[in-house]
């Protein structure tokens, strides 16, 4: 614990510095309403994509149903905050959404995670579509029109804090004993099993964890955009999250941050192009994948510890 205190303190400092910087930029006027909007959407996408990266990149299970869990979080938060439009209501709604997403992920995960590769992808996609269709047909969710006029309880500060918190939780989970078990399942399921690792348990654990973080992203989405409809959480949304994960580099959290930021900024810049926007966006996507097939950062991970050790080594060599 004490050994890592220095690095943890540095990380904390970086996080606080980021928050202060954005605040200052906002005060000076470099970040206007439009840019802030982009910033919040990037933040929500980071939360969604880190969860999916845990499932795809670290446990090696190909899930195409992330938007389903996002929808559960969004609807839970929306319904609760409609009744209790306060910060407390948002917290309560998010927690309910996370629990709901966790339970649903458990129910979906236990049978389907026996499947492999593309079969799993298509089964999770089907499960997410079933969630969406149920939302379309329920009375309480107001059917295909969705819920609107929700209180705007999420702002960029809250999104920023939740990005930091979910990232810390996810990264710590990966570096824990359980996290290493999950990595071993990705590397070789049979070898992991022969070492006495309950592979099903850890695959489901990663799936549930990822689903719960997706619910946080969904709750923020609902209370920032203020309008949600079942069609916001279709296959396309799952694919958009998948694109962030693959473009950043599968299994690289730093890459997820970079890709979410890049795509968010690309989206903002292309707003001016009108109808041509999506054409340019898809061209950029194809070209990035062809020229950087390992993703923007591959499996490279930014690490304060390594940076620190390197500078220390250099200083020693210099002396």
Partner 1 sequence: MQILQQLINGLSLGSIYALLALGYTMVYGIIKLINFAHGDVYMLGAFWGYYMINTFHVGFWTALILSMIFCAIIGVIVEFLAYRPLRDSPRIVVLITAIGVSFLLENGMSYLFSSSPRDFPQAMVMHRYHLGSLSISNVQVLILVTSIVLMILLQLIIKRTRMGKAMRAVSVDPEAAQLIGINVDHTISFTFALGSALAGAAGVMIGLYYNSIDPLMGMTPGIKAFVAAVLGGIGLIPGAALGGFVIGLVETAVQAMGFSAFRDAAVYGILIVILIIRPAGILGKTTREKV
Alpha carbon distance 270, 267 (integer Å): 5
Binding status of residue 231 toward partner 1 by CB under 8 A: no
Written as six digits, the tokens of 78 are 């929306």
Torsion-angle region of 288 (φ positive above 0: left; ψ -120 to 50: alpha; else: beta): alpha
For partner 1, the closer of residues 29 and 274 by Cβ is 274
Smallest distance, partner 1 to C-beta of residue 285, A: 4
Binding status of residue 145 toward partner 1 by CB under 8 A: no
Instruction: Please give the residues from 15 up to 44 whose contact with partner 1 meets the rule CB under 8 A.
Output: none
Alpha carbon distance 138, 12 (integer Å): 43
Instruction: Please give the residues from 59 up to 118 whose contact with partner 1 meets the rule CB under 8 A.
Output: 62, 111-112, 114-116, 118
Binding status of residue 286 toward partner 1 by CB under 8 A: yes
Site track for partner 1 across 120-139, x = CB under 8 A: -xxx-xxx-xx--xx-xx--
Q: Quick one: which of 152, 276, 311, 314 contacts partner 1 (CB under 8 A)? A: 276
Kindly list the residues in this chain that would bind partner 1 in the complex (CB under 8 A): 56, 62, 111-112, 114-116, 118-119, 121-123, 125-127, 129-130, 133-134, 136-137, 190, 194, 235, 239, 242-243, 246-247, 250, 275-276, 278-279, 281-283, 285-286, 289-290, 293-295
């Amino acid at each position: 614990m004490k050994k890592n205190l220095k690095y943890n303190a540095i990380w904390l400092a970086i996080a606080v510095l980021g928050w202060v910087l954005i605040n200052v930029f906002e005060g000076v006027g470099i970040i206007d309403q439009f840019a802030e909007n982009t910033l919040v959407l990037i933040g929500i996408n980071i939360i969604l994509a880190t969860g999916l990266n845990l499932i795809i990149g670290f446990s090696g299970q190909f899930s195409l149903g992330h938007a389903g869990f996002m929808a559960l979080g969004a609807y839970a938060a929306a319904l609760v905050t409609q009744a209790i439009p306060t910060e407390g209501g948002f917290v309560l709604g998010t927690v309910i959404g996370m629990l709901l997403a966790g339970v649903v992920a458990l129910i979906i995960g236990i049978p389907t995670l026996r499947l492999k590769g593309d079969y799993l992808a298509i089964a999770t996609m089907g499960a997410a579509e079933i969630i969406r269709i149920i939302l379309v047909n329920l009375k309480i969710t107001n059917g295909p029109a969705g819920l609107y006029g929700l209180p705007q309880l999420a702002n960029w500060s809250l999104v920023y804090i939740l990005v930091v918190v979910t990232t810390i939780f996810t990264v710590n989970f990966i570096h824990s004993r359980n996290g290493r078990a999950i990595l071993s399942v990705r590397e070789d399921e049979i070898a992991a099993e022969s070492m006495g690792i309950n592979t099903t348990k850890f695959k489901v654990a990663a799936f549930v964890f990822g689903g719960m973080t997706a619910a946080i992203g969904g709750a923020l989405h609902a209370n920032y955009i203020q309008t949600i409809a079942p069609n916001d959480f279709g296959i396309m949304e799952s694919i958009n999250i998948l694109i962030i994960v693959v473009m950043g580099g599968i299994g690289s959290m730093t890459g997820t941050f970079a890709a979410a930021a890049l795509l968010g900024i690309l989206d903002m810049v292309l707003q001016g192009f009108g109808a041509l926007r999506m054409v340019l966006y898809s061209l950029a996507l194809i070209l990035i994948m062809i020229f950087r097939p390992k993703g923007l950062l591959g499996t490279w991970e930014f690490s304060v510890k390594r940076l620190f050790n390197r500078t220390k080594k250099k200083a020693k060599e210099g002396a």
